[in-house]
């Protein structure tokens, strides 16, 4: 059970907590208000300590304007002041903090190249340097040897690192690991700089790695783990030793935290995207949305034996609660409420533990049967069968009572024995982060396909409503959108697409190219590393906001993806996936690129891949237009009427294409 720190813990009516750091048992909290200060809290004694008031510190005696970040290194507290254009450095090695000096000049004008800061938004430090981003798209670097009282407000910068995209209010978070500086921005953009490349007077030193939609905060703890807050709020831990330069984050995380329960609550809540995080003992300190949560990280002892046990048997009809989603009659307000109606494409069938309830959800458009609720125990490679279930209704939710104790024993998936977890009885409710859960089946072919989807997109339905451009979403459109995106996510997750993508030139006759067109250069023809990077981005694309256009095709870009009505029934037929892929591709490129230039790249490749699969019945999740019967919807209930000539089209009659030809000459290995 976690707890929450509020303004009331410090005798305050309001606060604005923006950053935090821990030194020993003391939590320091940046409270950025008209009279900004740094709050202190004894985590061991669970009591507030006296706050640090800059006006009362000898030698400083100036207000802090907009506190953005805190750092502690070697007994020094570094304070980033956005509006004050400086980094104040305090000695906290004794009971009362004392002022050492400030970096920057205290004003944003003047010699910004060598001395002044232009609104500092973060700070971190190691034994060599102090690193400070500001809104000029850079990280200013000072040597620690220059952090002296004699250099107060006049220390010369040692170097400057390039930080593209960091402008006003970018609120970066930084972490040093060995010889590398990791910088995360709130949108998930993450940069890595090689500290060994820093030389005196170096300017615009470029990052050696950059990735989008990655992390908002990274924190290296002294337990050998690095804790990372992802864009969706999930906190993951990684072994520090596993970090390398192949990608910013290692392939395998040690642990994952998605949910929490506070004292006095009966159900868990989803962790929000962190603005800061820290580890204290076995507790995750998590700051988000003006709240600080202290969340125990439960440690269980795993006991494996050869004893065979039967899994719990559940039937859908016995669920405590059952409901349907995306059904006819559901209101527009509910459909477009993304907190109530969304699905992650790699979790179309999902299971979560919330309190003493097992929550199951299906965004499958057809019934799924003979299910296993499988669980992988954290910090283990062992999968167990938590329960068996007869079926789940299409587009449905079901809740079951489920209390786990020390006596609970779970059969291993491989049939070699069972596992018991010591420590479960210490909690009054099931700890939601003990297991990674998934719904599988050994007999249902549709379930097997859904579980092969690697795309991690979160899809939801937009509030689009603009005459002659956008139409309001309705349940029948929403259901079909889920089915179309399931097919698209499945196709892009297949070995076939991976083969086509990494053999683009052999398939299409030319390399893929960016917005500069068919030219050599950074935004022109792809190099091998571009294919690797973009393939990863395709699968890890973040949110997609779906809608219905009324403009003769569709619209895409950023998170937006909309297509006209005829695609909702035409994708089964000769309309295929060309326009859907075209608008999906606009997330990365415009009409000068191979993302959206007719037969030159992504839109054609995906469209042809769809027809390749259409020639093979049962090869993608949804090939039967009668599942949702969109084409039978009355014209009066649609944005545009159904074209009966399109309905008569047969996908199998689509012309032979380059994908067909490629796989004819280079057949895929049989699975």
For residues 286 and 356, membership in a common domain is answered with no
338 within some domain: no
For residues 481 and 625, membership in a common domain is answered with yes
Of 418, 450, 482, which marks where a domain is finished? Answer: 450
Give the pLDDT band (50/70/90) at residue 197.
very high
Q: Which domain holds residue 313?
A: 302-331+344-450
Element (H, E) at 585: helix 578-585
552 within some domain: yes
C-alpha distances out from residue 522 to 330, 514, 519, 525, 586, Å: 48, 8, 9, 8, 18
For residues 293 and 307, membership in a common domain is answered with no
pLDDT in tens, 431-440: 556 678 999 9
Of 383, 417, 450, which marks where a domain is finished? Answer: 450
Report, in this order, helix, strand and coil percent for the chain, each rounded to 5: 20, 35, 45
429 within 8 A of 356, measured Cβ to Cβ: yes
157 within some domain: yes
For residues 284 and 311, membership in a common domain is answered with no
Neighbours of 361 (CB within 10 A): 21
For residues 289 and 414, membership in a common domain is answered with no
Ramachandran bin of 661, using left for φ above 0, alpha for ψ from -120 to 50, beta for the remaining angles: alpha
pLDDT in tens, 212-224: 878 889 999 988 9
**Is pLDDT at 635 greater than 60 in this prediction?**
yes
Give the pLDDT band (50/70/90) at residue 379.
low
pLDDT in tens, 327-341: 999 999 999 999 999
Q: Which residues of 87-125 are buried (b: 16+ CB within 10 A; e: fewer)?
A: bbbbebeeeebebbbbbbbbebeeebeebbbbbbbbbbb
Element (H, E) at 342: strand 342-344
Give the pLDDT band (50/70/90) at residue 259.
confident
Neighbours of 211 (CB within 10 A): 18
pLDDT in tens, 24-39: 999 999 999 988 999 9
398 within some domain: yes
For residues 290 and 222, membership in a common domain is answered with yes
671 within some domain: no
670 within some domain: no
In this structure, what are the phi and psi dihedrals at residue 145, rounded to the nearest 5 degrees? -65, -15
State in Å, rounded, how far the first CA of the chain is from the last one: 46
pLDDT in tens, 126-179: 999 999 999 999 999 999 999 999 999 999 999 999 998 788 778 899 999 999
For residues 379 and 463, membership in a common domain is answered with no
Diameter of the chain measured on Cα atoms: 83
Mean pLDDT for all residues in the chain: 92
For residues 261 and 203, membership in a common domain is answered with yes
Q: For the packed helices 495-502 and 528-540, what is the interaxial angle rounded to 10 degrees? A: 150
Number of domains the chain contains: 3
pLDDT in tens, 262-313: 887 777 788 999 999 999 998 999 999 889 999 987 666 778 889 888 888 9
């Amino acid at each position: 059970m976690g707890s929450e720190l509020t303004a009331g813990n410090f005798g305050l009516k309001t606060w604005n907590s923006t950053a935090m750091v821990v030194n020993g048992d003391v939590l320091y909290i940046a409270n950025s208000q008209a009279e900004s200060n740094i709050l202190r809290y004894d985590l061991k004694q669970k009591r507030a300590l006296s706050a640090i008031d800059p006006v009362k510190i000898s030698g400083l005696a100036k207000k802090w304007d907009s506190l953005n970040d805190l750092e502690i290194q070697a007994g020094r507290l570094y304070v980033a002041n956005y509006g004050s254009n400086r980094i104040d450095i305090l000695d906290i090695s004794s009971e009362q903090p004392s002022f050492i000096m400030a970096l920057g000049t205290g004003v944003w004008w003047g010699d910004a190249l060598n001395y002044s800061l232009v609104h500092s938004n973060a700070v971190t430090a190691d034994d060599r340097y102090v690193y400070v981003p500001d809104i000029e798209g850079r990280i200013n670097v000072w040597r620690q040897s220059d952090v002296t009282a004699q250099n107060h407000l006049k220390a010369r910068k040692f170097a400057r690192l390039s930080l593209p995209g960091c402008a006003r209010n970018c609120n970066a978070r930084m972490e040093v690991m060995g010889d590398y500086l990791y910088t995360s921005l709130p949108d998930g953009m993450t940069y890595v700089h090689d500290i060994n490349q820093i030389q005196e007077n170096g300017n615009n030193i470029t990052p050696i790695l950059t990735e989008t939609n990655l992390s908002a905060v990274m924190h290296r703890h002294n337990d050998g783990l690095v804790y990372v807050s992802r864009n969706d709020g999930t906190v993951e831990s990684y072994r520090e030793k596993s970090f390398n330069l192949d990608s910013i984050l290692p392939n395998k995380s040690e642990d994952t935290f998605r949910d929490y329960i506070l004292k006095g609550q009966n159900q868990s809540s989803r962790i929000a995207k962190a603005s800061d995080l820290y580890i204290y003992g076995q507790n995750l300190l998590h700051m988000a949305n003006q709240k600080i949560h202290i969340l125990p990280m439960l440690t269980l002892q795993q006991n494996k034996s050869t004893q065979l046990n039967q899994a719990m048997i559940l039937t859908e009809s016995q669920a405590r609660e059952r409901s349907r989603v995306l059904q006819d009659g559901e209101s527009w307000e509910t459909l477009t409420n993304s907190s109530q109606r969304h699905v992650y494409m790699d979790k179309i069938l999902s299971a979560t533990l919330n309190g003493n309830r097992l929550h199951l959800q299906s965004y499958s458009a057809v019934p799924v049967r003979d299910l296993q609720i499988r669980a992988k125990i954290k910090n283990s490679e062992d999968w167990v069968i938590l329960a068996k279930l007869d079926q789940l209704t299409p587009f449905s939710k079901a809740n079951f009572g489920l209390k786990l104790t020390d006596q609970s024993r779970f059969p291993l998936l491989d049939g070699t024995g069972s596992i018991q977890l010591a420590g479960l009885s210490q909690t009054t409710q099931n700890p939601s982060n003990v297991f990674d859960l998934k719904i599988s089946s050994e007999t249902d072919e549709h379930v097997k396909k859904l579980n092969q989807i690697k795309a991690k997109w979160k899809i939801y339905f937009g509030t689009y409503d603009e005459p002659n451009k956008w139409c309001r979403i309705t349940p029948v459109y929403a259901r079909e959108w889920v089915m179309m995106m399931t097919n698209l996510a499945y196709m892009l997750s297949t070995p076939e697409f991976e083969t086509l993508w990494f053999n683009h030139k052999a398939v299409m006759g030319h390399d893929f190219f960016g917005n500069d067109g068919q030219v050599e250069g950074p935004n022109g023809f792809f190099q091998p590393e571009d294919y690797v990077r973009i393939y990863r981005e395709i699968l890890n694309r973040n949110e997609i906001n779906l809608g219905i256009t009324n403009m003769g095709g569709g619209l895409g870009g950023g998170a937006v993806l909309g297509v006209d009505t005829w695609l909702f029934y035409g994708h089964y037929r000769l309309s295929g996936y060309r326009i859907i892929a075209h608008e999906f591709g606009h997330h990365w490129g415009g009409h000068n690129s191979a993302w959206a230039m007719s037969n030159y790249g992504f839109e054609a490749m995906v469209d042809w891949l769809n027809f390749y699969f259409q020639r093979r019945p049962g090869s993608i999740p949804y090939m039967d237009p009668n599942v949702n019967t969109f084409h039978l919807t009355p014209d009066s209930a649609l944005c545009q009427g159904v074209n009966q000539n399109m309905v008569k089209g047969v996908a199998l009659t689509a012309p032979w294409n380059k994908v067909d030809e490629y796989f004819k000459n280079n057949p895929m290995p049989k699975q």
